[in-house]
Structure 1
Amino acid sequence: MIIIVDGLNKHMFQPLLDDMFRLRARVFAGRLGWEVNIEDDKEIDQFDHMDPGYIIGVDEDMNVISCARVLQTTGPHMLSDVFNAILCGQDPVRSPNIWESTRFCVDTQRLKGEKSKHTVSTATCELMLGILEYAQDNGITDIVTVIDPVMDRVLKRSNNAPHGYVGETVPMGKVKALAALLDCTDERIANVREFAGIDGEIFVSEEEALKKLELRQIAQEMCLAALPDNELDLEAISKPGASLTDLREYCFDQLAKAETEAEMSAAVALMEMLSDKIGASDAEELQRLARKLPRSAEETRAKLTRSA
């Protein structure tokens, strides 16, 4: 799923942006070894303060799995102000209909088990589509992007080959860099969709995304508030990106370990808040438990151990 965050809605999605900036730090500073600015485990540069658009890929639990940034070329942008050596003296790209895409990255660690029939992951292709379809919807005719030769090959393998290049391929730190042009046409979008086998809508609405984020936040806060004595488990479950499956298993574990009626009530309350995500049979079990409380801790543990 793809969500768009920009200057109009960023105030609603700060937790998602923070996760995105942390992913960028892990990829660009950690995995690639780039010399980028890291603050509080987040990679943020001067162009992030210019209200760009962010194309953010998320999984079902709203964990950030990919991201890219798009910025108008009529003002400062990376090709004109940072990677201008690529231009070799040419004037930078300046057009209201050509935007720059940068900071393209995918969380390969989180997606390590992802199945794909191609060497290019589905998440990578979905992010490409997110950029192209967002651009097309906003009257952008072309995307210019600074890439290395590896990414150039990825684009070509995924039916998304650049239709042209700007400037020359030049050494840029430890790698070479070049600027590619991608037209945002129906044909290009259809080619990438066909390659990746992606059908239907890829964008998630603001309303649905906010609901999912709120659910995740409530679950994590409830874990922290309800069971303060279990510090080790709480530290693990309250990390950003904890999945609803993790929370479900965590709550069952806490119910099984409960020693007092207060501990059982706290864990049941948390699971009730997640009941629409953990399956009908579990939700029915939660309702039954809520009706039966208080009951002996030993009986509850035995019952839940059998049902889990």
Structure 2
Amino acid sequence: MTILITPQNRHRYAAELDGVYRLRHWTFNEWLGWGLAQREGREVDPYDDQAIHFVKLADDGEVLSCWRAMPTTRPYMTLEVYPEVFGDREPPVSPDIWELSKFCTARYRLKDDKAATYRIIAEMTVAVTEFCVAYGVTELLSVQSAVVTRVANMFLGEPIWTGPTVWPGDTDATLYSYEPSLMQAHVLRARHGLAAGPSLDHFDVLGLKTVAA
């Protein structure tokens, strides 16, 4: 099951959010060794409260994957923490352009099951894509290191814009821009055997208007 946690409904998902923060700490600090700020084994930052969290849950309720999204009309991490990745591009401030960040999968549970991992990434990408199309989001920004870009492009498609590669710390960082596409979602559904039908329900909890509204 994939759920959508928003500023409006987050009070109902305290346990799931705790799982998100624990998975992020394990991924970024224990596995990748990035040394991000953490509190009692949870990686949380100032952008979380106003963000939307796409969360894939196992049957037992454990968080298998998470992805954070927020519109560029609010203060967002890429602009405030990594402004150099925009290069000569004016940092966007638009309701149609959103930032994607903090993607994780529970590798410690999935082990070396590449097919299962890719299926989860596909499910998450389809959920994000269908949400974006429903709400008229035309561009997604994602800061990545080189080690994840190949996989990201397999699921999000070829980037429509690429910024300069910078080194804000020990890891390289490049900003990529993607266009959400239902065609890409259809390809992922077919390639990974995902069931037809909406990937997420209850979009209306955001208090936003869909394109069709």
Give the TM-score range, shorter chain.
0.7 to 0.9
Structure label with greater radius of gyration: 1
1:205: how far off?
5.3
For 1:54 and 1:38, how far apart are their aligned partners in 2? 18
1:12-67: CA deviations, max 9, x gaps?
11111001100001001111111311012110011113x11000011112210000
Correspondence list, 1:81-230, <5 A: 81-112=80-111, 114=113, 116=115, 121-158=118-155, 160-201=156-197, 203=199
Aligned AA (1:11): H
Structure 1 position 179, deviation (Å): 1.1
Describe the SS at the equivalent of 1:171. coil
SS at match of 1:54: strand
Task: Identify unmatched segments of 5+ residues in structure 2.
Answer: 203-213
Output the TM-score relative to the length of structure 2. 0.86
For normalisation by structure 1, the TM-score amounts to: 0.61
- Extract structure 1 runs of 4+ deviating beyond 4 A: none
Partner of 1:236: none
SS at match of 2:103: strand
CA root-mean-square deviation: 2.0
With over 3 angstroms needed to count, the CA separation of the structure-2 counterparts of 1:29 and 1:202, relative to structure 1, is farther
1:90 and 1:143 mapped to 2: Cα distance? 15
Give me the whole-angstrom Cα distance separating, in 1, the residues matched to 2:42 and 2:140: 26
Measure, in 2, the Cα distance between the counterparts of 1:104 and 1:4.
Answer: 14
Alignment of 1:275-286 (within 5 A): none
Describe the SS at the equivalent of 2:164: strand
Instruction: Please state whether the residue corresponding to 1:172 is helix, strand or coil.
Output: coil
Structure-2 separation of matches of 1:193 and 1:172: 36
Query: Aligned in 2, Cα 1:65/1:201: closer, same or farther, shift over 3 Å?
Result: farther
Q: 1:71–1:101: 8 Å Cα contact kept in structure 2?
A: yes
What is residue 14 of structure 1 aligned with on the other side? Answer: 14
Using a 3 Å threshold, how does the CA distance of structure 1 residues 115 and 81 change in structure 2: closer, same or farther?
closer
- Residue 38 of structure 2 is aligned to residue 38 of structure 1: yes
Which whole-Å CA distance do the structure 2 matches of 1:116 and 1:196 have between them?
Answer: 8
* Alpha-carbon distance in structure 1 between the residues aligned to 2:199 and 2:14: 18
1:29 corresponds in structure 2 to 29
- Residue aligned with 1:91, SS: coil
Instruction: Flag the 1:203–1:60 CA change in 2: closer, same or farther, 3 A.
Output: farther
Q: Percent identity?
A: 26
Instruction: Provide the residue aligned with 1:219 in structure 2.
Output: none
User: Do the aligned residues in 1 keep the contact of 2:160 with 2:179 (CA within 8 Å)?
Assistant: no
SS at the partner of 1:175?
A: coil
User: Which residue number corresponds to residue 205 of structure 2?
Assistant: none
CA contact (8 A) 1:144 1:180 kept: yes
Deviation readout 1:42-98 (Å, 9 max, x if unpaired): 10011113x110000111122100001001111211221111111225321221111
Check conservation: 1:165, 1:178, Cα contact below 8 A: no
* Deviation at residue 128 of structure 1 after TM alignment: 1.5
Equivalent-residue separation in structure 2 for 1:114 and 1:85 (angstroms)? 36
CA distance in 1, matches of 2:190, 2:167: 34
Question: More helix per residue: 1 or 2?
Answer: 1
Give the whole-Å Cα distance in 2 for the aligned partners of 1:149 and 1:79: 17
Task: Compute the displacement of 1:4 (Å).
Answer: 0.2
Higher RCO (CA < 8 A, seq sep 6+): 2
Gap change, CA 1:174 and 1:98, over 3 Å in 2: same
CA-CA distance at 1:135 after TM superposition: 1.7
